[in-house]
Structure 1
Amino acid sequence: MSDRITVEELSELMKKTAGITVSPQELRDRPDTAFEEFGIDSLGLLGIVGELENRHGTAMPVDAERCKTPREFLALVNSSLLAGA
């Protein structure tokens, strides 16, 4: 298990928890695009956070479910995972 969440993992989580298909390349190309524009609402993001907590066995930052963009989400979650490593 990596101590960082990649765009590939985020893409897979978006598909698994919210049923939204967004390629990793699209996430790389549009990191500041709002999750809403990709079709991810607050419940979808909450599902992603919950799945990450299960996978990593640790609580994600409280603000993770309020992140607006993939860049913001990955920065927050990865800084938390690195701090806990």
Structure 2
Amino acid sequence: MSDRITVEELSELMKKAAGVTVAPEELQRGYDSGFDTFGVDSLGLLGIVGELENRYGTPMPPDAERSKSPRQFLDQVNGALLAGA
């Protein structure tokens, strides 16, 4: 388990926790697009955050579940993981 979430891992989490299949390449192309562009709503994002909290055994930043884009989400989550939050 790495200390950074990649686009590939986010793609897997989107499928597992939100039930939305998006290829990592498509996610990378739409890095600054809203999650709604990919069909992920607020409950889906909450599921992704919950999955990460279970995986790492630590709370994610409160704003992570309100992220608008994959870039914003990964920046917040990876920042917290690197800081040991």
TM-score normalized with structure 2 length: 0.97
In the other structure, the counterpart of 1:63 is: 63
Letter of the aligned partner of 1:8 in structure 2? E
Aligned residues: percent identity?
73
The alignment yields a C-alpha RMSD, in angstroms, of 0.9
Q: Which residues of structure 2 form unaligned runs of 5+? A: none
Deviations 1:42-67 (A, max 9, x none): 00000000000000111000000000
TM-score normalized with structure 1 length: 0.97
Offset at residue 23 of structure 1 (A): 0.6
Aligned residue-pair number:
85
Name segments (4+ residues, structure 1) moved above 4 Å.
Answer: none
Cα distance in 2 for residues equivalent to 1:44 and 1:25: 20
Q: Which residues of structure 1 form unaligned runs of 5+? A: none
In the other structure, the counterpart of 1:24 is: 24
